[in-house]
Structure 1
Amino acid sequence: MAHDGLIRTPRFEQVVEAAADIARGRGDEYVGVEHLMLAILAAPDTVPTLELHALGIDPRRIAAAIETTMREPGYLAPSYRARHLDGKITDYDPVTGISRRLAG
């Protein structure tokens, strides 16, 4: 159980680790929502994937579209912004490696 009182299920942990594997495999230095989405879409027994199939949507087509977007020039923003649990915001510039903590 996490410190916030929420239980992390084994499926959650598997998807998060799969997202990290996807990010590492691409050479990305972060794990973002796009990596999580690709990990979810790759798992055939997740609720989102099952529901997409039920709607007649092939999850592989969505994954392919996300991967195409991730290969496009300009995909990586010049900085990454993260909000911490304490409400503070950090900007990180992957080019310079500089992190700057902002008021939040």
Structure 2
Amino acid sequence: MSEQIADEHFLASPVPAQVGGRAVRLIPHRTSDVEETLLPPDYQRILATVRQAAGRNMARQVGELLGVDVNVRAGLEPLRGKPVRLVDRGWLRKLPDGRFSTRL
């Protein structure tokens, strides 16, 4: 039984992939059997930050709460794609005004 659980956990965890010769980590789609702990630490912090802000946040506000220098474009741009990936995988919602909120 424990071997089966270990195998299922391994299959549900994000898998490294190769893109352009670089190793990248895939973000799992949100399902009832996939826990937040399977997300990479950066993505877990983004989810926690959006949840902690108790509502809707833009990428700039998430960056400020995470301690990213949002006044420098090089600091904010890498962060902008992460909440969008979480939206694409069902972890967050993106509202028409560009803000992010947690899913219920």
Give the TM-score normalised by structure 2: 0.27
- Between 1 and 2, higher relative CO (CA 8 Å, sep ≥ 6) is seen in 2
TM-score, length-scaled by structure 1: 0.27
Instruction: Tell which structure's C-alpha radius of gyration is larger.
Output: 1
